[in-house]
Amino acid sequence: GNSVTQMEGPVTLSEEAFLTINCTYTATGYPSLFWYVQYPGEGLQLLLKATKADDKGSNKGFEATYRKETTSFHLEKGSVQVSDSAVYFCALSDEGKLIFGQGTELSVKP
C-alpha cells in the first residue's frame, strides 16, 4: 500500500541555518503531496502542497518539489527562525484519504 517515510527527529538548528527535512513516498500513480505543520498545543496547518511531478509548493519561505524520479518531497527553508519550531508532517492523498509520515520535530535555537 501507499506510505510516507520522513527523516527522524528531533532536528535542532541555530537561527538562520538552512533546513532540510527529507520525505519519500511509495504510491501507485501520482498522488498529491502535502506538508503540514503543527505548533505546540495546536492542530495541523497546511504549509504547502504539490499536485503533480516537478511542481514546487512554497509558503512562508518553505519550499518542496515533487520529484517523481526519486519519489521524494523534501522540505527546505533557507533561513529558519525560532518561530519555525514545530512538528512537520509529510503526507500524500490516497483517494481522498491522507497518509502521513511519522512527523519530524524541529527545534530552532536563538
Partner 1 sequence: DAGITQSPRHKVTETGTPVTLRCHQTENHRYMYWYRQDPGHGLRLIHYSYGVKDTDKGEVSDGYSVSRSKTEDFLLTLESATSSQTSVYFCAIRTSGSLEGEQFFGPGTRLTVL
Interface residues toward partner 1, by CB under 8 A: 4, 6, 31-32, 34, 36, 42-46, 49, 51, 89, 91, 93, 95-103
Question: In terms of Cα–Cα distance, which of 90, 105, 70 is closest to 3?
Answer: 90
State the minimum distance, in angstroms, from the CB of residue 9 to partner 1.
11
Question: Which contiguous run of DSSP H or E holds residue 82?
Answer: none
Question: In terms of Cα–Cα distance, which of 104, 98, 102 is closest to 27?
Answer: 98
Question: In terms of Cα–Cα distance, which of 102, 95, 74 is closest to 30?
Answer: 95
Interatomic CA distance for residues 65 and 73, integer angstroms: 6
State the minimum distance, in angstroms, from the CB of residue 12 to partner 1.
18
Q: Which is nearer to partner 1, 63 or 100 (CB)?
A: 100
Q: Residue 13 is which amino acid?
A: L
Q: Which is nearer to partner 1, 17 or 107 (CB)?
A: 107
Q: Which is nearer to partner 1, 41 or 110 (CB)?
A: 41
Q: Which is nearer to partner 1, 29 or 110 (CB)?
A: 29
State the minimum distance, in angstroms, from the CB of residue 106 to partner 1.
15
